[in-house]
Structure 1
Amino acid sequence: MGSHNMKIEEARRDYIESLAETMEMYGLSPSMGRLYGIMLFQDEPMTLDQMMDLTGMSKTSMSTGVRALSRLKLVHKKWQKGVRKDLYEAEHDQVSSFVEFFCGMWEQEIELNQRALARTEKNLNRLLADESTSPEDAQKLEADLKRLSHAKQYYHWLRNLVDVFESGEIFNHVPVPKEAD
């Protein structure tokens, strides 16, 4: 690698490392962030072998990282005539990636917790209706049901937030800055 190319790689390093830290903040491995960052600066789709050369990662961890980034819609498989190996390209639209990632996470949170809320509410109401429940315990159960009511309001709000993001309405309130030509 020439001296000029080394300087270019060094200039990119800060942003690539910040992506690694960011990915870690969201529960992903720093190596996935580095891989995404490296791919983000590439002009052409890359094979796993090319990614291995740039990252120094093993083929197994590279493949695992690419699959995880693909699930998150941060990396896409590309087809190119005459190329037999799989090619991958980073998603350059970070706003779109943000919406995909967070809406997916929020959807999982809503689904998981609404099911648990319904089961818990059913069990608390059953205990409340039980004749053997003491007045003190009934008071605790009523307080718990009120807490669950607040939690249900939160998940209703979160559902509305997901809808605002998925519909694109959020951009009426928080527009994406236009890139200067």
Structure 2
Amino acid sequence: MNDLEGLPPEQIQRIIKARERVIDSIGKNMDLYGITLSIGHLYGYMYFNEGPVTLDDLSRTMGMSKTSMSTGVRTLLDLKMIDKVWGKGTRKDLFEVVPDWHQNFSDYFSIKWRKAVEGNMTALAKSLAEIKAMQTEYAEDTEVLRLLTNDEAKIEEAIKYYRWLLKLIEALETGKIFELIPKET
């Protein structure tokens, strides 16, 4: 954390300790959402860093291999939590954190939820089509028809939920969620 250069050692240690506590908290929080603790720590380190960093900087600071740093950076890029930026006079890739935690939350969950919804909606549509075909096929068997009708109703309820979830995802993606639940200023 190059922003500490020139400060007395005692102040540096106190600032580092306070930052490391927050970095660890960020890592643990992100771990709850399926992002590894080390990638959470990587984000936390970048959050406190003044300006963009290279993979070499990250590797050196975190004591991890450049390959591990590359994987972590790629994950954070995919989740839109960091950006690749241009740096005058350097040919190395530079990365900096997107400091808007609200946007990070919105991006992370909209990406994850949209992927899950699409897969689940496909499965539900396929099963619903099969049930409808069986309802025609077994139209004379009241017990089978009763079971199929119950299953159809359950699938229809699930589809309603996923349509609602798509609206929530859209509200996250467009920022309309912040009209309902404003950010603190």
Match of 2:141 among 134, 140, 150: 134
Match of 2:110 among 100, 103, 118: 103
Runs of 4+ in 1 over 4 A off after TM superposition: none
Alignment RMSD = 1.6
Per-residue Cα deviation, 1:76-125 (whole angstroms, up to 9, x for no partner): 11111101111111110111111111111221122111111110001111
The yes-or-no answer on 1:20 pairing with 2:17 is: no
CA distance in 1, matches of 2:76, 2:163: 29
Where does the alignment leave 5 or more consecutive residues of structure 2 unmatched? none
Q: CA deviation at 1:8?
A: 1.4
The TM-score normalised by the length of structure 1 is 0.92
Deviates more, 1:20-29 or 1:162-171: 162-171
CA distance in 2, matches of 1:13, 1:145: 52
The yes-or-no answer on 1:63 pairing with 2:67 is: no
2:30–2:37 contact (8 Å) kept in structure 1:
yes
Q: CA deviation at 1:3?
A: 3.8
- Indicate the SS of the match to 2:96: strand
Match of 1:91 among 94, 98, 110: 98
Q: Which amino acid aligns with 2:30?
A: M
Per-residue Cα deviation, 1:36-64 (whole angstroms, up to 9, x for no partner): 00000001100111111111111111110
2:107–2:172 contact (8 Å) kept in structure 1:
no
Identity %: 37
2:138–2:145 contact (8 Å) kept in structure 1:
no
Q: CA deviation at 1:177?
A: 1.1
- Indicate the SS of the match to 1:44: coil
For these two proteins, the number of residue pairs brought into alignment is 178
Aligned to 1:164: 171
1:127–1:133 contact (8 Å) kept in structure 2:
no
- Indicate the SS of the match to 1:89: strand
Where does the alignment leave 5 or more consecutive residues of structure 1 unmatched? none
Per-residue Cα deviation, 1:14-34 (whole angstroms, up to 9, x for no partner): 111111111111111100000
